[in-house]
Amino acid sequence: MSALGAPLRRLEGTAKVTGAARYSFEHTPDGCVYAWPVQSTAAMSRIIAIDVDAVLAMPGVVDVITADDAERLEDADDGELMVLQSSNVAYRGQVVALVVAESLETAREAATRLRVDYQTGDVDAVLEPGHPKLYAPDEVNAGFPTDTSVGDIDQALAQAHAVVDHTYSTPAQFNSPMEPHATVATWSDGRLDVFESSQGSSSTVQILSTLFGIPAADITVDSQHVGGGFGAKGSPRPNVVLAVMAARRVGRPVKLAYTRQMMFALAGYRTPTFSRIRLAAGEDGRLLGLAHDAISQTSTIEEFTEQTAESSRHMYAAPHRSTSHRVAALDVPTPRWMRAPGEMPGMFALESAIDELAHEMGIDPVELRVLNEPASDPESGKDFSSRHLVDCLRRGAAAFGWEGRDPAPGVRRDGRWLVGTGVASALYPAMVMPSSARVTARRDGDYLVEINAADIGTGARTVLAQVTADRLGVDVDRVDIRIGVSSLPQASIAGGSAGTASWGWAVSKASLALVDRLKDEAVPDDGLSAEADTADDIEAMADVDRHAYGAHFAEVRVDLDSGEIAVSRMLGVFAAGRILNSRTARSQFIGGMTMGVSGALHEHGVMDAVHGDYANHDLATYHVAACADVPDIRVEWLDEHDDQLNPVGGKGIGEIGNVGAAAAVANAVWHATGVRVRDLPIQPDALVRHLPMRG
């Protein structure tokens, strides 16, 4: 039996459930000291004075580093990493000093005592439609075009039988991996060794090499266990730069971990978004026009534009179309990637609007989507490598019991609860990035696969061992795997749902090369290896449109008295190419959907307009879904074969569960109550005054 697709347990599972798996901060080199960042308490300001001496005099304080005396860094093309380089402060929460002390307790105490005086300016930190600072960036995240236009959207709107024109918003959301960002940095004899919580340490090495002006060959970054990231650890954040800087300066190993509160300013987050969606439909429900105009924020030190309207370029057929992105540089921390950047907020908007159109036209929401299924990519005209959205919708509808659903909103009661159901589509690009791997046959008959992949909870170790075993034609337990250290063959980050496809390709290619060598070579004492790199293969790929698809179905209950919303049932059906491990894949889909429920109902970064900071910057006030908020989520997938992807045949599954899930919940809330909420999160205050009295 092939190892591919088998529900293998995670190879590092025992280490994780017994507490033996060590995450970055859990390495404590001899003689280490602790560093604690001091954050600005003023947005958009200038530091006038820092009373370093008072803190340096405290027992146990080793050093205080400020912009006055920090070493100068080379620009690595990320403004957030230029820490302690200037006395200008761009946002509240930015690092203005670093305290180094003999113990964690002293470092924390000293950091709170460090007095910093600021000259403050006016704070501009609240994104709104029509904000005067909105501009068109050259491109948006992941290199997508800022604006696109096909046909004449105004003409389509003028001629339509039905028009939907609404603005939908999503708030600032915070990735909040359970392991806060952390670094342990040690310099010895000019070499730098780092333990870092990272989604991809190969790129961390390159960036540290640039920032600190040392050869990449002299740097090792170890990220063997990573406590989640969801994009927040996709590129280095200030923590690693600060720790490395401090370790060089004090000549001792340095440990630095963000507090949970620091995570909200210094780890990246999802920008708030506003999406105006305009749909123009003909009498039969077919779209004549589709427009998506998105706005988002960035900081004043780094431009990041969420690609919010990108998904609307691919979802539905319509001859007239237009999309745009505008961004405002505000006095806020720089937003970054958070699980399905672009698709999550964009598809909340589009899939809510489609639901509104279905109601307006009296067409079942599943059927309206089927009706608008394109034959090729609706903007580019490219062929699909495969597209089974309709199959996901149909199969999901059957499994969920959608048939015979009464479309009328606000009419189903179960005791004190109003009950409703909703559907939404999902899509996510199937990407692949260049990677390399080495596979070695050992004298004892076992194999070793080495690749600097990162396992942030996806089960990467396990599926890559499965791919190797499959290609070599051996049992998985004869394959050892080493990942998560930058000295291994270089590989792409765990991001863009492209990890397994990218790494799997490299591992597959190296395995097949080894099989070739083993045909006419004996295994010497130190083993026989083959290496492979996929850069050229990826370059040569055909120019087709590659996406994974899915359909979410949700049932919600809304309490008549309080407006409390509970998701009671949820089903996701996905078409994501070949599924390589049914056990871990199911968990990942469920995890994405769980984050979708969390975003739909709970997560809400609240900007303090006066001070320019997210006021609810901890886990007591920034609510993420807890166990009691999450129903029994069911997941199914299609047996999809797509030979235009990559040799392992997977499209990526890390993010698609979080795309469309919030819209399915929002649509179900509308079906339950008749109240359309266009701003996430949906909370009782938006519903309660509209609900009927309980009879």
Partner 1 sequence: MTPPVTTQRVDLEVNGVQHACDLDPRTTLLDALREHLDLTGSKKGCDHGQCGACTVLVDGRRTNSCLLLAVAAEGSTVTTIEGLGGPDLPHPVQEAFLEHDAYQCGYCTPGQICSAVGMLDEAAQGWPSVVTDDLTDAGELGTDEIRERMSGNICRCGAYVNIVTAIAAVDA
Q: Is the separation of the CB atoms in 675 and 612 below 8 Å?
A: no
Q: Is the separation of the CB atoms in 464 and 508 below 8 Å?
A: no
Q: Tokens representing 158?
A: 């003028």
Find the part of the chain contacting partner 1 (CB under 8 A) among 128-136, 392-400, 590-598, 687-695.
Answer: 590-598
Q: Which is nearer to partner 1, 270 or 320 (CB)?
A: 270
**Minimum separation from the CB atom of position 16 to partner 1 (A):** 3
Indicate which of ligand FES, partner 1, none lies near residue 679 (CB less than 5 to 8 Å, by partner kind).
Answer: none
Enumerate residues 31-90 that contact ligand FES by CB under 6 A. Answer: none
d(CA 14, CA 2): 24
Q: Is 630 in the site for partner 1 (CB under 8 A)?
A: yes
Enumerate residues 223-242 that contact ligand FES by CB under 6 A. Answer: 228
**Minimum separation from the CB atom of position 636 to ligand FES (A):** 23
Q: Is the separation of the CB atoms in 366 and 285 below 8 Å?
A: no
Q: Is 416 in the site for partner 1 (CB under 8 A)?
A: no
Q: Which is nearer to partner 1, 41 or 259 (CB)?
A: 259
Indicate which of partner 1, ligand FES, none lies near residue 594 (CB less than 5 to 8 Å, by partner kind).
Answer: partner 1
Indicate which of partner 1, ligand FES, none lies near residue 105 (CB less than 5 to 8 Å, by partner kind).
Answer: partner 1
Cβ neighbours of residue 418 under 8 Å, at least 6 residues apart?
410, 412, 557, 558, 560, 672, 673, 691
Q: Is 457 in the site for ligand FES (CB under 6 A)?
A: yes
Query: Pseudo-torsion of CA 82, 83, 89, 92, nearest 10°?
Result: 120
Indicate which of ligand FES, partner 1, none lies near residue 28 (CB less than 5 to 8 Å, by partner kind).
Answer: partner 1
> What is the x/- site pattern for partner 1, positions 599-628, by CB under 8 A?
-------------------xxx---xxxxx
**Minimum separation from the CB atom of position 456 to ligand FES (A):** 9
**Minimum separation from the CB atom of position 268 to partner 1 (A):** 15
Binder of partner 1 out of 236, 459, 496, 563 (CB under 8 A)? 459
Q: Is 612 in the site for ligand FES (CB under 6 A)?
A: no
Indicate which of ligand FES, partner 1, none lies near residue 226 (CB less than 5 to 8 Å, by partner kind).
Answer: partner 1
Binder of partner 1 out of 588, 616, 646, 673 (CB under 8 A)? 588
Q: Is 550 in the site for ligand FES (CB under 6 A)?
A: no
Q: Which is nearer to partner 1, 186 or 307 (CB)?
A: 186
Binder of ligand FES out of 17, 136, 178, 399 (CB under 6 A)? 178
Q: Which is nearer to partner 1, 593 or 668 (CB)?
A: 593
CB burial class (10 A; 0-12, 13-18, 19+) of residue 362? exposed
Q: Is 20 in the site for partner 1 (CB under 8 A)?
A: yes
Look up residue 136 and give its amino acid.
A
Indicate which of partner 1, ligand FES, none lies near residue 411 (CB less than 5 to 8 Å, by partner kind).
Answer: none
Q: Which is nearer to ligand FES, 37 or 457 (CB)?
A: 457
**Minimum separation from the CB atom of position 266 to ligand FES (A):** 18
Q: Which of 227, 302, 237 is nearest to 268 (CA)?
A: 237
Cβ neighbours of 585 (radius 10 Å): 24
Q: Tokens representing 156?
A: 């389509």
Find the part of the chain contacting partner 1 (CB under 8 A) among 155-163, 174-182, 280-288, 318-326.
Answer: 174-182
Give the chain's length.
Answer: 695
Q: Which is nearer to partner 1, 385 or 500 (CB)?
A: 500
Q: Is the dihedral of CA 107, 113, 114, 116 positive or negative?
A: positive
In order, the DSSP letters of 540-575 are T----B-EEEEEEEEEEEEETTT--EEEEEEEEEEE
Count of residues touching partner 1 (by CB under 8 A): 70
Binder of partner 1 out of 167, 587, 644, 683 (CB under 8 A)? 587
Q: Which of 201, 217, 236, 175 is nearest to 454 (CA)?
A: 201
Q: Which of 297, 244, 198 is nearest to 84 (CA)?
A: 244
Indicate which of partner 1, ligand FES, none lies near residue 636 (CB less than 5 to 8 Å, by partner kind).
Answer: none
Q: Which of 682, 683, 621 is nearest to 264 (CA)?
A: 621
> What is the x/- site pattern for partner 1, positions 245-264, by CB under 8 A?
------------x-xx----
Q: Which of 382, 315, 371 is nearest to 343 (CA)?
A: 315
Q: Is 214 in the site for partner 1 (CB under 8 A)?
A: no
Enumerate residues 49-78 that contact partner 1 by CB under 8 A. Answer: 57-61
**Minimum separation from the CB atom of position 457 to ligand FES (A):** 5
Active site (annotated) includes residue 640: no
For 513, phi then psi, to 5°, come to: -65, -35
Query: Pseudo-torsion of CA 404, 409, 411, 414, nearest 10°?
Result: 80
> What is the x/- site pattern for partner 1, positions 109-148, by CB under 8 A?
x---------------------------------------
Enumerate residues 368-407 that contact ligand FES by CB under 6 A. Answer: none
Count of residues touching ligand FES (by CB under 6 A): 3
Q: Which is nearer to partner 1, 279 or 590 (CB)?
A: 590
What's the distance, Cα to Cα, between the start and end of the chain in Å? 60
Indicate which of ligand FES, partner 1, none lies near residue 506 (CB less than 5 to 8 Å, by partner kind).
Answer: none
Q: Is 626 in the site for ligand FES (CB under 6 A)?
A: no
Q: Tokens representing 428?
A: 């996510």
Q: Which of 50, 66, 72, 71 is nearest to 100 (CA)?
A: 66
* Secondary structure of residue 341 in the 3-state scheme: coil
**Minimum separation from the CB atom of position 22 to ligand FES (A):** 15
d(CA 343, CA 321): 18
Q: Is the separation of the CB atoms in 282 and 165 below 8 Å?
A: no
Q: Which is nearer to partner 1, 39 or 534 (CB)?
A: 39
Find the part of the chain contacting partner 1 (CB under 8 A) among 99-107, 119-127, 141-149, 417-425.
Answer: 99-107
Q: Tokens representing 163?
A: 């028009």
Per DSSP, 577 falls in state B
Task: Give the pairing of strands 162-170 and 88-89.
Answer: unpaired
Q: Which of 246, 267, 140 is nearest to 194 (CA)?
A: 246
Binder of partner 1 out of 47, 81, 347, 456 (CB under 8 A)? 456
Q: Is 195 in the site for partner 1 (CB under 8 A)?
A: no
d(CA 337, CA 656): 14
Task: Give the pairing of strands 45-50 and 447-450.
Answer: unpaired
In sequence order, the β-bridge partners of residue 482 are: 450
Binder of partner 1 out of 228, 282, 410, 684 (CB under 8 A)? 228
Q: Is the separation of the CB atoms in 353 and 290 below 8 Å?
A: no
For 407, phi then psi, to 5°, come to: -75, -15
d(CA 536, CA 534): 6
Indicate which of partner 1, ligand FES, none lies near residue 445 (CB less than 5 to 8 Å, by partner kind).
Answer: none
User: How far, rounded to the nearest angstrom, does the alpha carbon of residue 261 sit from its chain's CA centroid?
Assistant: 20
Look up residue 241 and give its amino acid.
V
Q: Which is nearer to partner 1, 365 or 592 (CB)?
A: 592
Q: Which of 80, 196, 302, 655 is catalytic?
A: 655
Active site residues: 655
- Residues within the interface to ligand FES (CB under 6 A): 178, 228, 457
- Residues within the interface to partner 1 (CB under 8 A): 9-10, 12-23, 25-26, 28, 57-61, 102-106, 109, 175-180, 225-228, 230, 257, 259-260, 456-459, 583-584, 586-588, 590-595, 598, 618-620, 624-630, 632-633
